[in-house]
């Protein structure tokens, strides 16, 4: 079985694949102050709770946008899973041409998303990842990763209202029934949710106009399902897209049991 780990700024998405099938997935809060043993104990407990023997894990693949956590999770994989992980980094095979100014600056999670997106849904493609940041990643009909757009995530906007104002509360991020809020919480939900719906729809329109083509639009990340319900342009939600991409990247870059590099 293959263990996949996507470490973000606020959450860690982990999955276990048997062949092409995702058999288990977990989402944890991330923290750079945790040790490899703390993460390893959590991982051991998750596998044990699901009746999965450690010995069944034959490989691991890791991507993270938090560089200090790379050696931490390398140690976790080696010490607790008994396997050295493939780390998604510049130079990795992707099957796409990275038509951006500086490929080294691309977040590995964005690469994993578009690799999975093109495999599952075809090209041209736009992947919207609703994470700590809201990212829009674009692949042309010829398979070029063109870049995209990055906006603050919706949780950042919500927390900013709470932390930088004296009287506004922390709220639940749900779409209200009405744009006119008859109380503070409802008004904040209206401003944040309808504001982000407008942000998504406008950025999508601008990207599609520049692309000159009709792309598949896929949502992923923690709020993917919610925004798929309220933004008609989003055709499908797949919260596990990065994990699927990690599996595909692992398969592209393993040659005779060794990591492949271009």
pLDDT tens for each residue of 142-166: 999 999 999 999 988 888 888 888 8
- d(C-alpha 179, C-alpha 171), whole Å: 16
The burial class, CB within 10 Å (0-12 / 13-18 / 19+), for 2 is buried
* 157/225 same-domain check: yes
Asked if pLDDT for residue 262 goes beyond 50, the answer is no
Catalytic position from the list 6, 37, 109, 209 = 109
End-of-domain residue from the set 87, 113, 138:
87
- Tell me which of 90-104, 185-199, 222-236 is least confident: 90-104
When pLDDT is cut at 50, 70 and 90, the band that residue 140 belongs to is: very high
In a domain, 260, yes or no: no
* 24/83 same-domain check: yes
When pLDDT is cut at 50, 70 and 90, the band that residue 91 belongs to is: confident
In a domain, 249, yes or no: no
Lookup: tokens for 134: 């809201």
Site of tokens 């989402």: 27
Query: Across residues 101-106, what is the average pLDDT?
Result: 86
In a domain, 256, yes or no: no
| Catalytic status, residue 256 | no
Domain containing 15 equals 2-87
The terminus-to-terminus CA distance of the chain in angstroms comes to 25
With CA atoms as reference, report the closest residue to 15 among 61, 58, 83: 61
Domain with residue 14: its CATH number is: 3.30.420.40
When pLDDT is cut at 50, 70 and 90, the band that residue 85 belongs to is: very high
In a domain, 114, yes or no: yes
* 103/233 same-domain check: yes
In a domain, 246, yes or no: no
Asked if pLDDT for residue 194 goes beyond 80, the answer is yes
Return mean pLDDT, the chain.
91
Asked if pLDDT for residue 106 goes beyond 50, the answer is yes
pLDDT (0 to 100) of residue 195: 94
Highest mean pLDDT (candidates 7-16, 35-44, 91-100, 115-124)? 115-124
The burial class, CB within 10 Å (0-12 / 13-18 / 19+), for 18 is exposed
Share of the chain above pLDDT 70, in %: 97
Asked if pLDDT for residue 258 goes beyond 50, the answer is no
Lookup: tokens for 185: 């919480």
pLDDT (0 to 100) of residue 255: 57
pLDDT (0 to 100) of residue 260: 39
Number of domains the chain contains = 2
Q: Is 243 helix (H, G, I), strand (E, B) or coil?
A: helix
Site of tokens 């870059």: 253
């Amino acid at each position: 079985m293959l263990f996949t780990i996507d470490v973000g700024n606020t959450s860690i998405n982990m999955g276990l694949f048997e062949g092409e099938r995702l058999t288990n997935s977990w989402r944890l809060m991330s923290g750079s102050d945790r040790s490899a043993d703390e993460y390893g104990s959590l991982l051991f407990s998750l596998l044990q709770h699901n009746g999965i023997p450690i010995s069944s894990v034959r490989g691991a693949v890791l991507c993270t946008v938090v560089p200090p956590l790379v050696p931490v999770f390398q140690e976790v994989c080696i010490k607790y899973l008994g396997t050295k992980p493939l780390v998604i980094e510049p130079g990795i095979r992707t099957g796409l041409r990275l038509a951006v100014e500086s490929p080294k600056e691309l977040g590995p999670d964005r690469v994993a998303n578009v690799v999975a997106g093109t495999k599952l849904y075809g090209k041209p493609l736009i992947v919207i990842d609703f994470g700590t940041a809201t990212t829009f990643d674009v692949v042309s009909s010829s398979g070029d990763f063109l870049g995209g757009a990055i906006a603050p995530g919706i949780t950042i906007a919500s927390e900013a209202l709470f932390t930088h104002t004296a009287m506004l509360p922390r709220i639940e991020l749900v779409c209200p029934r009405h744009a006119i809020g008859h109380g503070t919480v409802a008004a904040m939900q209206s401003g944040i949710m309808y504001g982000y719906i407008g942000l998504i729809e406008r950025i999508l329109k601008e990207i599609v106009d520049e692309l000159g083509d009709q792309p598949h639009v896929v949502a992923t990340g923690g709020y993917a399902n919610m925004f798929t319900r309220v933004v008609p342009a989003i055709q499908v939600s797949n919260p596990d897209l990065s994990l699927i991409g990690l599996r595909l990247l692992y398969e592209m870059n393993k040659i005779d049991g060794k990591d492949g590099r271009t």
